[in-house]
Structure 1
Amino acid sequence: MMLGWRARIGQMRPATAIEGAEEWRTVAPVGVAFADARTIVPQVNEEGLKVMMSQVLEAARQLATAKVDLIVQCGAPGTFLRGKGHDEEVCAQIKEATGIPAITMMAAQMDALKALGAKNIAVATVYSDEVNAKMATYMEACGFSIASMKGLQILDPFDASVHDADSAYRLGRDAFRAADTADAILISCGTYRTFEILPYLEMDTGVPVVSSNQATLWRALRTLGLPDVIPNLGKLWSVA
């Protein structure tokens, strides 16, 4: 039987990161397979992310040769730095270049928060304050309020790889505790491992938690019409 007989999903991710791709593979529903393409990110800042985004169409063309059903642009800052609406532009360019529909990680995170009915978000990221400020502007344009925001100030993209899931738990908890009112937590970075800690962070804070890899996998499956519910990946999977 061919791998990916239900769905073949193409994911483009920073070349330094294997964590997100492996998180997806550890929980992949039966009949769902992934093809990988990589982009180079010199630094997690505005100039470095422009370099990453300049490689998106070539990565998309590589994924198209695997006959994928959907192309996923991973690397949320690559689109939020350009502001609300850039995700749609990137997806349209990928579709024009390959004939294959596309989604972005940043838009998937926003869709997940909307599906949960969240409004006031405690945000935890690996990014610098400069990049976080751009993210906050984007999220506010999408209708969210930033209840708090904490970042690890990472500029070298590989450095996010050395942070284990317990780091994501602590950062998400700290962001929640720093907020006067937060009805959800967002942990943003596709290199940041979160799957192990999602149910515990939700249990310990009492609010739903959205993370980059969780939300993007959820959006990818739903875009393809697959209703699978993946256990222990948070309240998001119970809403749609």
Structure 2
Amino acid sequence: MSMIEEPVSGREGVSGAVTTPIGLLVPPADGAVPADAAVVYPGLSFRAHGLGLREMTPEGYDSVLEEVGHGARLLAGQGVSVVALMGTSLSFYRGLSFNSELEREIERRSGLPGLTMSTAIIAACRAVGARRLAVATAYQGVVNERLLAFLAQNGMEVVSLAALDILSIEAVHKVPDDEVTGLGREAFARAERPDAILISCGGLSTRPAVRALEEETGVPVITSPLAGLWAAVARAGHDPRVASEGKLFQQHFPVT
């Protein structure tokens, strides 16, 4: 496991004041801050801790659960303001109650506000007013089944599903941008009147897909990595809206 601090265009926010870093628990062992952070929020600072997840399976997720609490404590010791678990399937694979338990464990171990990427995608769907979803994922069968169950538990209706059938964390980070866009396009084409496209998997590169698909379809495109950043920034007390990004980034984080 490793922990890396990566300032996003320095440590100053838009007001010029020094900002407290935002803590991210990321599945890959290298603990790198997601590249999108520097592009979307250049005025903020992030620190990350790697969990060492190798495979997107229930057994793989089970193997790193103890590292979630440990990593949350280490990030708190580095002075972060919030701890976000940036893994969607790692937080939804045991259902709604378990996702809430993970957030409580992060908060207990860190003493800070905590959230998961699964919480973020649900908040993002609600923020853009979406319930009927065209879903695109990187996952294999059993993980897709658990995602659909989690979405249903949160009042979402899945009207189509397209998946890449990927097992390893290493492989998911190598998926080309045009393949992600094509996957989202396939999910939308299979759906009847979806409110939004949801692209689930924090390891996918999704900014180009969001731009292309929102222009093509006219519906919001919610993606795990971008929703995770949007929610983490909001929970840290910052305004998460970014005028140059997609439809989600025109919205505030919903108050529940």
Name the TM-score, length of structure 1 as normaliser: 0.93
Out of 11, 14, 33, which is 1:3 matched to? Answer: 11
In 2, the alpha carbon distance for the partners of 1:7 and 1:198 equals 29
- For the aligned residue pairs, the C-alpha RMSD in angstroms reads 1.7
Q: Would you say 1:21 and 2:34 are equivalent positions?
A: yes
More deviation, 105-114/188-197: 188-197
Does the CA-based 8 Å contact 1:74-1:105 persist in structure 2? yes
How many angstroms apart in 2 are the aligned matches of 1:116 and 1:178? 21
CA offsets 1:43-78 (integer angstroms, 9 cap, x no match): 111101111223101111221121100001011111
* C-alpha separation in 1, matches of 2:115 and 2:83: 7
Over 3 Å off, 4+ runs: 16-20
Deviation at 1:226, TM superposition (A): 1.3
Deviations 1:142-199 (A, max 9, x none): 0000011111111111001111222211101100001122110011111100112312
Following superposition, the deviation at residue 98 of structure 1 comes to: 1.7
Maintained 8 Å contact 2:128/2:251: yes
Deviation of 1:18 (Å): 7.3
Name the residue aligned to 2:143.
Answer: 131
1:151-170 equivalence runs, <5 A: 151-170=163-182
Residue identity opposite 1:197 in structure 2: A
Structure 2 residue 76 is the aligned partner of structure 1 residue 68: no
Moved more, 37-46 or 118-127: 37-46
Matches within 5 A, 1:1-240: 3=11, 5-15=18-28, 21-30=34-43, 32-240=44-252
User: TM-score scaled by structure 2?
Assistant: 0.88
Greater Cα offset, 75-84 or 108-117: 75-84
Report the CA distance shift for 1:196/1:18 in structure 2 as closer, same or farther (over 3 A): farther
> C-alpha displacement at 1:238, in angstroms?
1.4
Task: Tell whether the 8 Å contact from 1:13 to 1:36 is kept in structure 2 after alignment.
Answer: yes
Check the 8 A contact 1:63/1:71 in 2, yes or no. Answer: yes
| More displaced 10-residue stretch of structure 1: 190-199 or 136-145 | 190-199
The whole-number CA distance in structure 1 between the counterparts of 2:213 and 2:20 is: 30
**Inter-partner Cα distance in structure 1 for 2:183 and 2:240:** 29
- Consecutive unaligned residues in structure 2, runs of 5 or more: 1-9, 13-17
The 8 Å contact of residues 76 and 189 in structure 1, kept in 2 or not, is answered as yes
Say which structure, 1 or 2, has more relative contact order (CA 8 Å, 6+ apart).
Answer: 1
Give 3-state SS (helix, strand or coil) of 2:25's partner.
Answer: strand
Q: Which runs of 5+ in 1 are unaligned?
A: none
Aligned length: 238
Return the letter of the residue paired with 1:33: S
1:232 positional shift: 3.6
d(CA) in 2 for partners of 1:228, 1:122: 24
**Hey, what's the Cα distance between the residues in 1 that align with 2:176 and 2:33?**
12
SS state of the match for residue 180, structure 2? Answer: helix
Distance 1:7-1:78 versus aligned 2 partners, 3 A rule: same
Identity fraction in percent: 31
* 3-state SS in 2 of match to 1:162: coil
